[in-house]
Amino acid sequence: MKRIILMVLYNLPFVPYWWWQLCYYAKHADSIEEEKRYALIKKITLHANKGGRVKIASYGQKNIPREGGFIFFPNHQGLFDVLAIIEASDRIFSPVAKVEVENTLFLKQVFQILKAKFMDRSDVRQNMRIIKEVSDQVKEGKAYVIFPEGTRSKQGNQLLDFKGGSFKSAMYARCPIVPVAMVDSFKPFDTNSISPVTVQVHFLPPITYEIYGKMKSTEIAQMVKEQIEATIAKVC
């Protein structure tokens, strides 16, 4: 909370206009071009991070597919994760998030602008519908980010188990899987500190369908988890 206040104070002269823009873009997301919507989120994120004394160090951007649909699969450390990936990635994407954060102030507007999908873990039918929708849109060339742990680890840079079901959309779409190793992403919003912090975002080489096509979803989950863990172990 302290860092969010710092972000707001640093950008105070612009906050009213940006807030109006966020609300307007969120309400009219269907009629505003995707590039224009994403540019607004990117601009606000860059200014907010600078004001909040957060530096994003991104690695492996060459591993992000230039064309076609794909899915980012990062470890999930905190509420800041999506904002870190927004600054680090030059490809437009939409998040898949749990329904519990759908109405979180600011994130609500960001998710509406990015046209996020929300999954209710207690509703199997709804989950399957979202998986199908994501799969269909990825086939059409769209990119998504899905957190396979399903919830924040709350254990710093340690990972929870990756859920096999999280990879169903990629399997149905037969699209590249891009593992993403998040390091110290819990510090900006999930610690009570305003000390300068560097969040690392490592985009790992994409895993193509030719590699994982014959694997079970649980095997894919374990493979992606091990790659992310190995990357975090090298830098921590």
pLDDT digits (tens, 9 = 90+) for 113-146: 999 999 887 788 888 899 999 999 999 999 999 9
pLDDT tens track for 104-113: 777 889 899 9
HSE, side-chain direction, 13 A CA sphere, residue 61: 11
Dist CA 220 CA 214 (whole Å):
10
Amino acid at 126: Q
Structure tokens of 225? 């988890």
Q: What is the largest CA-CA distance in the chain?
A: 54
pTM exceeds 0.85 for this model: yes
Spans of the chain, pLDDT less than 70: none
**pLDDT for residue 78:** 87
- How many Å apart are CA 94 and CA 117, to the nearest integer? 8
pLDDT at 120: 84
